[in-house]
Amino acid sequence: MNALSSTEAAVVERARAAPMLAQLESWVAVNSGTRNLAGLGRMAKLLADAFSTLPGGIALIKPDPVQAVSADGRLQPIEHGRHLLLTVRPQAPIQLMFAGHMDTVYAVDHPFQAIRVREDGALNGPGAADMKGGIAVMLAALSAIESSGFAGRLGYQVLLNSDEETGSLSSAPLIARVARGKVAAFVYEPSLADGTLAGARGGTGNFSLAVTGRSAHAGRNPEEGRNALVAASELALRLASAAGDGLTVNPARIDGGGPNNVVPEHAVLRVNFRPATADAAARARAALDDAAAEVAAGHDVHVECHGSFNRPPKPIDAAAERLFGLVRDAGQSLGLTIGWRATGGVCDGNNIAACGVPVVDTMGVRGGAIHSADEFMLPESLPERAALSALSILRLVERGSV
């Protein structure tokens, strides 16, 4: 274990001593499901107040417009909450990005609304791990850094978006703008319960294929109809057959249909692609275009495709490898074993890496069972991960680059 310098030891102790648990408990008490705009507004206010202890300016950024395909194939706007952006010392020689999300997957009417302490001491609560605990860790680390003599060399932006759990569609352009020119980025998604970090990540793309056929009576003149449900079903089968060689395909839902005596005119296929590489994403897009054209011609229907690969694959390149190494070495100095492994999950780290910025995207608390009513975080990981983050940032500033 490498001994800490006196400056490092002081920063680490300040990070550990931050009131993270109290912050976490107050934040978890606010339902901030992605579609709960009122709750997101309350959450944004709480976070703005908390992060106002840091220097710099805080802004609440209007979300970019987003549309979604309804069950009958029409495009409809979807509202999102505002995104919080803190900018500190934009002229400093070293510029970093810190990212997290204030939204959770739990709707305003979801039964999982409160935090409790399990018998083993873990905290079970909505967003406790994913990722209100991570935001508390981020704030503790940055507050500790501000107390050091190195703070003047560091500029940074903190982005806390309101739509990560639904793909960051209204914040993706903002993520790209904030990432531009940064030396490195840390995202505060939870690590696994044993502290393992996410390394390489696959990408993801969500698409809605709206099929328009022709209605007819199922008994009197079915030959005049064009069955949109049948066409959508063939689309699902064709796309499923494209899986393999680094690509998974999940046709997840078909909306459409109606009375048994009516040939259905409308159907919408929802499908998710998970490409491991950029080549796999290109093959998925080609399969999507080919299937849509062939089914449209074969069934005499119209197929309109909506969606995108909103999370590009995130490989570990040389710069990312060095950043992971810096975090690993900081952990070693704190008596922690830091490892990482590839995962099929996605997050804003995918978007940041696609901008050419090295990123470690699981700097948050240790926990598990996220996106379920069993979600938990380990409270001892609050000071542990705050210390790891603060030391990693300090050494990155001392080094001056990744």
- Distance separating alpha carbons of residues 249 and 188, to the nearest angstrom: 28
Would you give the distance in Å from CA 28 to the centre of its chain? 18
Whether omega before 131 lies within 30 degrees of 0, making that bond cis, reads yes
Element (H, E) at 328: helix 318-333
Residue 231 in contact with residue 211, Cβ under 8 Å?
yes
| Closest residue by Cα to residue 274 from 249, 256, 291, 299 | 249
Residue 341's Cβ-count burial label (10 Å; 0-12, 13-18, 19+) is exposed
Residue 323 in contact with residue 360, Cβ under 8 Å?
yes
Q: Which of 8, 130, 146, 164 is catalytic?
A: 164
Residue 272 in contact with residue 212, Cβ under 8 Å?
no
- Distance separating alpha carbons of residues 100 and 354, to the nearest angstrom: 17
Which residue(s) pair with 85 in the sheet?
59, 159
Contacts of 206 (CB under 8 A, 6+ apart): 167, 270, 271, 272, 273, 307, 308, 310
Residue 9 in contact with residue 91, Cβ under 8 Å?
no
Q: Which of 103, 146, 189, 361 is catalytic?
A: 103
Longest dimension (CA), the chain: 87
Element (H, E) at 218: none
H-type helices in 340-402, by residue range?
A: 348-354, 381-399
Q: Tell me, yes or no, if 103 is annotated catalytic.
A: yes
**Per the structure block, which two tokens stand in for 294?**
């062939």
| Closest residue by Cα to residue 346 from 314, 371, 320 | 314
Contacts of 334 (CB under 8 A, 6+ apart): 12, 384, 387, 388, 391
**Per the structure block, which two tokens stand in for 60?**
């609440």
| Closest residue by Cα to residue 373 from 35, 103, 127, 34 | 127
- Distance separating alpha carbons of residues 232 and 192, to the nearest angstrom: 38
Q: Tell me, yes or no, if 25 is annotated catalytic.
A: no
Catalytic residues: 103, 164
